[in-house]
Structure 1
Amino acid sequence: MLKQTKVIVLHRMPYSDSSLIVKGFCFDFGVQSFLVKSAKSHKNPFKSSLDPLAESEIVFHDSGKSDLHFIREATLIDWFPNLRKDLEKTAMAEVMAEILLRYLPTGLSQELEFRYTEKALQVLDRGKCPQDALARWMWHIADCAGYALSVDDCIRCGNSISGNPADFLFESGGALCKDCLGFFLPHYSPEFLSDIARLTARMPLHDPRALEGEFFKYLKTHLGENREIKSYRWLQEVRGYAFSTTD
């Protein structure tokens, strides 16, 4: 059976001297594996449409007998060229790709996750606040996975929070109002708590890396597998190198 869908290419690896296995996140079918024959040939008709992090429209054959499908057609939608020119942006996109590969189920439609990933790549490539993209993406993915964090309402009393929360408790699932915090000191800085409020207001974040780090730990804790995400370590190394060269 032939199927057609949009796909974001997450990873690819050699299968033989001339072929590749491509892991892609499909709009209609979740994460899938594809065999691309003669992919290394200069006559390969797919060219850059199956590059890692590219978004394409594909037609593939699903026999129902194997988890490895054959791509018949592939048309490039977006190669995200500006993202590829920046090492930090590329590393951020690789973190998204590895998390999706690790945690998304195979074969099930994940439309919301696809749309959030597509939007995050667009922001990294040409958006106004690319530095916010990974933190916001992690926040949305936690929501899609069933681990939504309460930002607008207090997790204890349920009252709506106006302005910044008084504190944020990841282990309890969200924000705390001033009355429920009482005389206790908050766990996070005023800048961090301000950024929590800015998430839903869609305002630029003061320190997206701080939110990103906490969301990353939250995702790893709740998605059921606490193995190392190698691309996240690489992202920190890239940032450390950039800091040392500009210092």
Structure 2
Amino acid sequence: MSTEKTEALVIRLADFSESSRVVTFFTRDFGKISALAKGAKRLKGPFEGALDLLSECHLVFIRKESSALDLATETQLIRRFQPHGKNLSSLYAGYYVAELLDGLTLEDDPHPHLYAAATDALLRLSLEDDHRLPVFQFELRLLHEIGHLPSFEACEICGRPVDSGETARFWVSQGGLICDKCGRPEYEHTSIHPETISVLRNLLRPSDVSSPSDPSLSSSSSLPLPPLASRELRRLLTAAIAHILERRPKMLAYLKF
């Protein structure tokens, strides 16, 4: 057993006893972990009220070598998630971030860039009244980090680059865009219009020229998001995520795009 320190987001809580909880954390250095927090329900204790859902904290925990739960021994609050104003969509969007982190990441698989993307998304959901761009950007980073980001540059059938001015198709089983020439009649309902492709590519534009494979998630808060692009992005990303989860994410039922 070893004692570890890291920064963490609380992404799930489950009662264990009258005074304790099992907490699922998404950590900066260790990825997703599940830990027993003894006395977490007490008003006074080593957790200082830092175990609310979506709270960011400094975490101290003891790693177990067997299949037993890790043991959380101390937390110090960094930031508590506060959705923007009285906007329930921002609250539900925060819960959606937690659902995706829990459902699409593996135990003990660190993704520090994804941790940064999640904390960035939650901060923006606290500051901005429109939840759509923070959610879209987080979903794209998540798919990128776990190796399931579809290709949005060339046709997956013929390999021809998809021009930004043409209407393409998106078929999740193909793993990306299908150009207009390769689109068959059964793909008609999956149309992705030029303005949506433009928005999508802007969302994926690198923030650092030295890291061209790293999508930007913090420089597009003022990016225009036309209604058509919002609807098509939602359909595209829902299809990609549901394909991996093998179900539609539950919190999407509460979000409007």
Per the alignment, in what secondary structure is the counterpart of residue 241 of structure 2? Answer: helix
Per the alignment, in what secondary structure is the counterpart of residue 201 of structure 1? Answer: helix
Q: Could you tell me which residue of structure 1 aligns to residue 215 of structure 2?
A: none
The one of 231, 238, 251 equivalent to 1:216 is 238
Aligned identity (percent) is 24
Residue 234 of structure 2 aligns with an amino acid whose one-letter code is E
The structural deviation recorded for 1:215 is 0.9
Q: Could you tell me which residue of structure 2 aligns to residue 87 of structure 1?
A: 88
Residue 114 of structure 1 aligns with an amino acid whose one-letter code is Y
- More moved, 60-69 vs 1-10: 60-69
Please tell me whether the aligned partners of residues 169 and 187 of structure 2 are also in contact (alpha carbons under 8 angstroms): no
Cα distance in 2 between the residues matched to 1:39 and 1:92: 26
User: Equivalences for 1:12-31 in 2 at 5 Å?
Assistant: 12-31=13-32
Please tell me whether the aligned partners of residues 164 and 197 of structure 2 are also in contact (alpha carbons under 8 angstroms): no
Please tell me whether the aligned partners of residues 80 and 122 of structure 1 are also in contact (alpha carbons under 8 angstroms): yes
Deviation per residue, 1:144-187 (Å, 9 max, x gap):
22222222334345454453442132332323456666999964
User: Equivalences for 1:172-211 in 2 at 5 Å?
Assistant: 172-177=174-179, 187=189, 192-202=193-203, 203-207=223-227, 208-211=230-233
The structural deviation recorded for 1:96 is 2.2
User: Equivalences for 1:8-157 in 2 at 5 Å?
Assistant: 8-83=9-84, 85-127=86-128, 129-157=130-158
Per the alignment, in what secondary structure is the counterpart of residue 77 of structure 1? Answer: strand
Q: Does 1:231 align with 2:231?
A: no
Q: Which runs of 5+ in 1 are unaligned?
A: 241-247
The structural deviation recorded for 1:9 is 0.7
Per the alignment, in what secondary structure is the counterpart of residue 14 of structure 2? Answer: strand
The structural deviation recorded for 1:13 is 1.5
After TM superposition, the score normalised by the length of structure 1 is: 0.80
Aligned residue pairs: how many? 234
Moved over 4 A (4+): 159-162, 176-190
Per the alignment, in what secondary structure is the counterpart of residue 26 of structure 2? Answer: strand
Over 3 Å counting, the alpha-carbon distance change for 1:175 and 1:29 in structure 2 is same
Residue 216 of structure 1 aligns with an amino acid whose one-letter code is T
Cα distance in 1 between the residues matched to 2:48 and 2:137: 31
Q: Which runs of 5+ in 2 are unaligned?
A: 204-222
